[in-house]
């Protein structure tokens, strides 16, 4: 296999790691969430009920999906960071410590991307640090904003993992459900890892020189 083979979307090792993360999540999701409610969450955008899983939904999705995907993307993930200029005592959900920009991450439970996006924008508007990257996610959808020196944050990327999560969850929950071709799934994750990998986040905005 030459370098051109490795560069093909279906062969991207980061995409493969994301698939493995989703597979682990789907196993836990199937174990914890009753079938009827799982279908509502996956296919009808119904909020995940904490009473059903006996855990806060936001904590569940962070613990069993987002942290694992973050690791697959190459993030050194730090939850509940403090010390951002302009935020006072407010605490974002996470930051990334191995990139050359400030990252403010905001998480919500599945199907809560609009709230995650709204709170992320609020944090970014207040933050004084530059260059700055904001990431909002509910596990299903990931949105990225960027701001260079002297600029207000602007929309950068929007990627959805919902269909990949649905397909893998269906495999693991339905008897004799056909397994999806992993090269197909990796291809579908390629744009996501290309936009949200640690390498890409680190070069999303230009650092002021001098």
**91-130, pLDDT tens digit by residue?**
999 999 999 999 999 999 999 999 999 999 999 999 998 9
Measured CA to CA, the distance from residue 43 to residue 102 in angstroms comes to 35
Query: What is the residue whose two structure tokens read 């890892």?
Result: 193
User: To the nearest 10°, the Cα dihedral for 125, 129, 135, 136?
Assistant: -30
pTM across the whole model: 0.90
| 139 to 90, 152, 188: CA distances (angstroms) | 22, 26, 16
Q: Which carries the bigger pLDDT value, residue 7 or residue 165?
A: 165
| Weakest mean pLDDT among 34-43, 86-95, 168-177, 196-205 | 168-177
Per-residue model confidence as pLDDT tens digits over 30-76: 999 999 999 999 999 999 999 999 999 999 999 999 999 999 999 99
- Cβ burial of 183 (10 Å; 0-12, 13-18, 19+) is middle
Q: Residue 177: is its pLDDT beyond 70?
A: no
Indicate the pairing of strand 154-160 with strand 141-147. antiparallel
């Amino acid at each position: 296999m030459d370098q051109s083979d490795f560069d093909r979307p279906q062969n991207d090792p980061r995409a493969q790691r994301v698939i493995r993360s989703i597979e682990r999540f789907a196993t836990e999701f199937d174990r914890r969430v009753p079938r009827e409610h799982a279908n509502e969450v996956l296919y009808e955008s119904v909020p995940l009920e904490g009473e059903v899983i006996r855990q806060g939904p936001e904590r569940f999705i962070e613990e069993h999906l987002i942290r694992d995907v973050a690791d697959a993307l190459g993030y050194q993930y730090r939850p509940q960071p403090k010390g951002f200029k302009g935020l006072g005592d407010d605490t974002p959900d996470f930051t990334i410590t191995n990139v050359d920009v400030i990252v403010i991450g905001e998480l919500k439970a599945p199907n809560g991307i609009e709230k995650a996006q709204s709170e992320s924008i609020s944090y970014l508007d207040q933050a004084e640090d530059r260059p700055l990257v904001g990431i909002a996610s509910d596990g299903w959808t990931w949105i990225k904003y960027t701001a260079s020196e002297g600029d207000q944050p602007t929309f950068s990327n929007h990627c959805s993992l919902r269909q990949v999560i649905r397909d893998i969850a269906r495999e693991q929950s339905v008897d004799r459900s056909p397994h999806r071709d992993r090269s197909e799934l990796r291809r579908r994750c390629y744009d996501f890892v290309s936009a949200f990998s640690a390498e890409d986040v680190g070069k999303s905005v230009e650092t002021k020189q001098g």
